Amino acid sequence: MELKQTPSQTVGPFFRFGLLAQGGENVMVSEETKGQRIILHGQVIDGEGNAIDDAMIELWQADAQGIFNHPDDPRCHLVDKSFRGFGRSGTSNKELEYSFKTIKPGPVPLEGGQVQAPHINMRVFARGMLIHLITRVYFSDESANDGDPLLSSVEDPERRKTLIAVREDIQDAPTYRMDIHLQGDGETVFFNP
């Protein structure tokens, strides 16, 4: 009797339909939300340099005070209740881009007195990936980046740049672009969960 292995299978494009409702997931602010409104956008790019048309991006971030709406944050009771802090966006639009309307988060304190630079946590889902990817978004106009412990842990300056969203002054609100390169030249730095 000859044993044959079952071929591996990857996640198909079907997940996008189940995870993205009909609009609004990428708008994380309301009229009452405190803080500087920003737009974050970009493409998810495959190893051949092509934009992926059915990826999904999830964001999770602190409010303008640097507080997460989560019980693990000891300052959770002070969080801006009008800010969602979580959003999703697909890349199936005409530009093949994800896009979020959010706020620029505040610095997040760590135990021992260290402070993390303002950042946004990002998860990337796409067909062909069995497990989502985790990365962070930092901002090109933040002086606090130099002291951020996680960003500083990426020793190669060229790799570190893959975590920096570049400011573009093209809309009413400050706009930042961060393309996610899944592999190949300029591959984005990804972290273990």
pLDDT in tens, 84-121: 999 999 998 899 999 999 999 999 998 888 999 999 99
Q: How many domains does the chain have?
A: 1
Sheet strands side by side (includes 175-177):
86-90, 56-61, 119-125, 133-139, 164-168, 175-177, 37-42, 98-103
For 51, residues 6+ apart whose C-beta sits below 8 A from its C-beta are 43, 44, 45, 91, 96, 97
pLDDT in tens, 26-81: 999 999 999 999 999 999 999 999 999 989 999 999 999 999 999 999 999 999 99
Residue of 170 and 60 predicted with greater confidence: 60
Task: With H, G, I as helix, E, B as strand and everything else as coil, classify residue 85.
Answer: coil
Would residue 192 count as lying in a domain? no
Give the CATH number of the domain where residue 177 resides: 2.60.130.10
Per-residue confidence (pLDDT) for residue 12, from 0 to 100: 52
166 pLDDT band (50/70/90 cuts)? very high
Q: What would the mean pLDDT of 135-146 be, rounded to a whole number?
A: 97
Per-residue confidence (pLDDT) for residue 3, from 0 to 100: 55
Per-residue confidence (pLDDT) for residue 14, from 0 to 100: 45
> Which tokens sit at 118?
């303002």
Domain range for 43 is 26-181
Instruction: Give the Cα separation of 56 and 52 in Å (integer).
Output: 10
77 residue type, one letter:
H
Q: How many CA atoms lie within 13 A of 191 on its CB side?
A: 15
Predicted structure pTM score: 0.88
Per-residue confidence (pLDDT) for residue 22, from 0 to 100: 52
Would residue 12 count as lying in a domain? no
Task: With H, G, I as helix, E, B as strand and everything else as coil, classify residue 167.
Answer: strand
Would residue 2 count as lying in a domain? no
